[in-house]
C-alpha cells in the first residue's frame, strides 16, 4: 500500500510552513472546520428516526433531557430540549427501547455528534414498559392521579398501619426509624410483595385498613404506609397492577407509597397521597421528631413569657421616664400655698370691713324697725291676704291627694309587715338569743326555741335537746326584722 499524498507534499518540506506555488487551499481554523462539519451533517441528516435502547437518562434542572441511544454495536448521544421534553407522554428510563425522531448535529466543544430529539416514542407495542405506559394513561384519564385527590397527612398519627412483608428488612427499618423520631403504635398487615398473588394481597390489606371501625379490637390507623425494598421492574411489578392502584386511590385513610429506591417509580406512587423515596424516608415523613417538638414548645413558652412581661417592662420604663419629668411636690404646692395665704389675709380684712358696713346699715334701718312701722306692715299684709279669694275645691283637692298617698303608704306597710303572714298560719322560729332560726340543722343544735303565732309566743325544745326537770328558758323579746316574711 502506498501512503496518501497531499498537494504540496514533497521532500523539501521544512520546519516552517511555506506557501507552495499553485496551491490555493488556505489552512482552516478548528472553528471553521467544525462549522463546515456541522453544516454538512445538519444538511445531510436534517430528519432521522433512530431506534435504540435508552441509557444514562438524566433530566437537568433546566428541564432539558440528556440520554444515550444504543444497540449491540454502537451508541449515539441525544438531547431533548425542555419544550419537547414537556410534551412526553411517558417517563423515560434506562432500558426502554424507543424510536427517537429528530436531527443530527455536531458538538464542536468535544468533537462529537448528537441527536436533537424532537419526539420520543416507545418501540414495540408488546413490551412491558409500553403496557405500563398504557395502563398509566388509562388510569390517569380516570382522574386517579389528580393532585386534587391528594389528602394532607396527619401531623402526629397515634396509630400507623404498614403494608409490607413481615420478614424483610423494610419493616425493621420503619420500626427503628419511628422509635428514633417519635415512638408510635404500628399495626403491620403482612403481605407478599413479589410473585404470584402479591398484588391481590396488597390491595386487600389497603382495603382492610379502611374497613376497620373506630374503637374496634384492632385500632384503626390514621396513616397507612405501603412499603417494599428495591428491585428490578419485574420485582416491583405487583405495585403497578391496576388492582393495587385502585385500592390505594379508594382508601379512606391517607397513604404513603414507599416502594423501591429513590429512582424506582410505580403506579402506586402516583395513586398514593404522598410518595416517599425509601421506606425509611416514609417513616421520617410520617412522624416529626419528638425532641424538636419539645424544643419548639419550650421556645414558644419562652416567647409567651417574654411577650407577657414585655408590656410590664415597657410600662415600667415609660412610668419611670414620666416620673422623672414630673415636677417636685414642693414646686407644685408653692403657688397654691402662696395664693391661700393671700386669700386668708383678704378674708380677714373683708370680714372686718363687712362688720363695719353691717353696723352702719343697722344704724340706718333702726328707725324703720320701730313698733308702729312693723304693725303697719303687718296690717297691710293682712289686708292683701283677705283680699285673696280661696276656692274650697283647691284645698279639698290637695287634701284628697294627700289622703291617697297616705293610703298607698299604708298598703305597702301592711304588705311588708313581717308578722302579717302569721295570720295565715305561718310561724316565726327564734332561738334563745332572739335571732331567727332558718334551718333544721341550726334548730337541732339549740336547747330551746320560741314559736311566735299571730296570737302569742310558745316556748318549745327540740326533741333531741329535751332535758327532764328543766323548762326551756323564756325567749328574749326582739324587734322583728323589717322585710323578712318567715
pLDDT in tens, 215-231: 889 999 999 999 998 88
Q: Is 162 exposed, middle or buried (0-12, 13-18, 19+ CB in 10 A)?
A: buried
Same domain, 317 and 444: no
pLDDT band at 80 (very low <50, low <70, confident <90, very high): very high
156 and 240 share one domain: yes
Q: What is the pLDDT of residues 462-477, one digit of tens each?
A: 875 444 444 455 555 5
What gap in Å lies between CA 280 and CA 72, rounded to an integer? 38
The answer on 255 and 149 residing in a single domain is yes
Q: Which of 12-16, 201-205, 274-278, 305-309 has the lowest mean pLDDT?
A: 12-16
Q: What's the longest Cα–Cα distance across the chain?
A: 180
What is the arithmetic mean of pLDDT over 126-147? 80
pLDDT reported for residue 462:
84
Structure confidence at residue 369 (pLDDT) = 66
- Give CA–CA dist 106/112, Å, rounded: 6
- Is the pTM for the entire model greater than 0.85? no
Q: Are residues 276 and 302 in the same domain?
A: no
Average pLDDT, the chain: 82
> Which of 93, 123, 153 delimits the end of a domain?
123
Tally the domains of the chain. Answer: 4
Task: Determine the pLDDT at residue 256.
Answer: 95
Helix or strand holding residue 321 (H, E): helix 290-325
Residue pair 253/209 in contact (Cβ under 8 Å)? The answer is yes
Same domain as 304, residue 198 = no
Establish if 6 belongs to a structural domain: no
Exposed e or buried b for every residue in 203-225, given b needs 16+ CB within 10 A?
bbbbbebbebeeeeeeebbbbbb
Tens of pLDDT, residue by residue over 186-200, are 999 999 998 778 889
Domain for residue 333, yes or no?
A: no
| b/e 252-270 (16+ beta carbons within 10 angstroms → b) | ebbbbbbbbeeebbbbbbb
Q: Is the pLDDT of residue 420 over 50?
A: yes
Phi, psi torsion values for 449, nearest 5 degrees? -135, 155
pLDDT in tens, 308-345: 888 888 888 888 888 888 877 777 788 888 888 889 88
Asked whether the predicted pLDDT for residue 73 surpasses 90, the reply is no
C-beta neighbour count of 92 within 10 angstroms: 19
Is 464 a domain residue?
Answer: yes
Those residues whose C-beta lies under 8 Å from the C-beta of residue 435, and which sit 6 or more positions away, are: 478
Helix axes 128-141, 242-249, angle to 10 degrees: 30
Q: pLDDT value at position 485?
A: 40
pLDDT of residue 18: 66
Say if residue 165 is in the same domain as residue 284: yes
Cβ neighbours around 7 below 10 Å, total: 9
Asked if pLDDT for residue 175 goes beyond 80, the answer is: yes
Helix (H) or strand (E) holding 357: helix 329-364
Comparing 365 with 35, the larger pLDDT belongs to 35
Backbone angles phi, psi at 144, to 5 degrees: -70, -20
pLDDT interval class at 89 (50, 70, 90): low
For residues 186, 188, 194, 198, the Cα torsion angle rounded to the nearest 10 degrees is -130
Residue 60, domain member (yes or no)? yes
Helix or strand or coil: residue 93? coil
**Averaged pLDDT for residues 33-48:** 81
Only one residue has cell 414558644, namely 300
Could you tell me the end-to-end alpha-carbon distance of the chain, in angstroms, rounded to an integer? 145
- With contact defined as beta carbons under 8 Å apart, do 68 and 49 qualify? no
Q: Does any domain span residue 406?
A: no
CATH number (domain holding residue 99): 2.40.50.140
Distance CA 133, CA 90 (A): 6
**Residue 275, burial from CB neighbour count under 10 angstroms (0-12, 13-18, 19+):** buried
Q: 126 burial class (0-12, 13-18, 19+ CB within 10 angstroms)?
A: exposed
C-alpha separations of 375 from 361, 362, 380, 384 in Å? 22, 19, 9, 14
In a domain? residue 96 = yes
Whether 201 and 169 map to the same domain: the answer is yes
Are 150 and 283 in the same domain? yes
| Residue 43 sits in the same domain as residue 157 | no
Cβ 229 vs Cβ 252: under 8 Å: no
Residues 149 and 256 in one domain: yes
For residues 273 and 364, the model is more confident at 273
Residues 179 and 283 in one domain: yes
- CA–CA distance, 243 with 313 (Å, rounded to integer): 66
39 found inside a domain: yes
Three-state SS at 458:
strand
Q: Which three cell numbers stand for residue 401?
A: 291627694
Residue 226 near residue 202 (C-beta atoms within 8 A): yes
Residue 180 clears pLDDT 80, i.e. is over it: yes
Domain that holds residue 284: 145-288
pLDDT tens-digit map of 253-307: 999 999 988 888 899 999 999 999 999 999 999 998 888 888 889 999 989 888 8
Same domain, 55 and 115: yes
Please enumerate in sequence order all residues whose Cβ is within 8 A of that of 328, keeping only pairs 6 or more positions apart, or say none.
Answer: none
Residue 3 backbone phi and psi in degrees, to 5? -70, 140
Confirm whether 106 is domain-assigned.
yes
Amino acid at each position: 500500500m502506498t501512503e496518501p499524498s497531499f498537494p504540496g507534499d514533497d521532500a523539501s518540506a521544512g520546519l516552517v510552513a511555506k506557501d507552495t506555488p499553485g496551491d490555493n487551499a488556505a489552512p482552516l481554523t478548528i472553528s471553521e472546520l467544525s462549522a463546515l462539519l456541522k453544516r454538512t451533517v445538519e444538511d445531510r441528516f436534517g430528519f432521522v428516526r433512530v431506534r435504540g435502547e435508552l441509557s444514562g437518562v438524566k433530566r437537568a434542572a433546566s428541564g432539558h433531557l440528556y440520554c444515550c441511544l444504543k444497540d449491540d454495536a454502537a451508541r449515539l448521544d441525544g438531547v431533548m430540549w425542555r419544550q419537547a421534553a414537556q410534551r412526553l407522554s411517558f417517563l423515560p428510563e434506562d432500558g426502554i427501547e424507543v424510536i427517537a425522531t429528530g436531527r443530527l448535529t455536531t458538538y464542536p466543544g468535544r468533537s462529537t455528534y448528537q441527536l436533537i430529539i424532537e419526539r420520543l416514542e416507545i418501540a414495540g407495542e408488546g413490551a412491558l414498559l409500553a403496557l405500563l405506559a398504557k395502563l398509566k394513561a388509562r388510569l390517569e384519564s380516570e382522574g386517579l392521579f389528580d393532585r386534587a385527590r391528594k389528602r394532607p397527612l396527619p401531623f402526629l398519627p397515634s396509630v400507623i398501619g404498614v403494608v409490607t412483608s413481615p420478614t424483610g428488612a423494610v419493616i425493621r427499618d420503619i420500626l427503628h426509624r419511628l422509635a428514633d423520631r417519635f415512638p408510635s403504635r404500628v399495626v403491620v398487615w403482612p403481605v407478599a410483595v413479589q410473585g404470584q398473588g402479591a398484588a391481590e394481597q396488597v390491595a386487600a390489606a389497603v382495603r382492610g385498613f379502611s374497613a376497620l371501625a373506630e374503637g374496634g379490637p384492632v385500632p384503626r390507623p390514621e396513616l397507612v404506609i405501603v412499603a417494599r425494598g428495591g428491585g428490578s421492574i419485574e420485582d416491583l411489578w405487583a405495585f403497578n397492577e391496576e388492582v393495587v392502584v385502585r385500592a390505594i386511590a379508594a382508601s379512606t385513610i391517607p397513604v404513603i407509597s414507599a416502594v423501591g429506591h429513590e429512582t424506582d417509580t410505580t403506579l402506586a406512587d402516583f395513586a398514593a397521597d404522598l410518595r416517599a423515596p425509601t421506606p425509611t424516608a416514609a417513616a421520617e415523613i410520617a412522624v416529626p421528631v419528638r425532641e424538636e417538638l419539645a424544643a419548639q414548645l419550650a421556645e414558644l413558652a419562652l416567647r409567651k413569657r417574654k411577650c407577657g412581661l414585655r408590656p410590664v417592662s415597657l410600662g415600667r420604663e415609660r412610668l419611670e421616664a414620666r416620673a422623672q419629668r414630673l415636677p417636685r411636690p414642693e414646686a407644685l404646692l408653692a403657688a397654691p400655698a402662696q395664693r391661700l395665704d393671700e386669700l386668708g389675709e383678704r378674708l380677714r380684712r373683708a370680714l372686718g370691713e363687712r362688720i363695719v358696713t353691717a353696723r352702719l346699715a343697722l344704724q340706718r334701718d333702726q328707725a324703720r324697725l320701730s313698733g308702729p312701722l312693723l304693725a303697719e306692715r303687718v296690717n297691710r299684709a293682712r289686708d292683701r291676704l283677705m283680699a285673696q279669694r280661696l276656692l274650697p275645691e283647691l284645698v279639698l283637692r290637695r287634701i284628697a291627694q294627700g289622703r291617697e298617698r297616705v293610703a298607698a303608704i299604708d298598703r305597702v306597710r301592711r304588705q311588708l309587715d313581717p308578722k302579717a303572714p302569721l295570720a295565715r298560719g305561718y310561724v316565726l322560729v327564734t332561738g334563745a338569743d332572739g335571732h331567727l332560726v332558718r334551718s333544721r340543722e341550726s334548730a337541732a343544735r339549740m336547747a330551746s326555741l320560741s314559736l311566735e303565732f299571730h296570737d302569742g309566743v310558745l316556748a318549745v325544745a327540740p326533741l333531741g335537746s329535751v332535758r327532764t326537770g328543766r323548762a326551756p328558758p323564756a325567749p328574749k323579746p326582739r324587734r322583728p326584722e323589717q322585710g323578712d316574711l318567715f
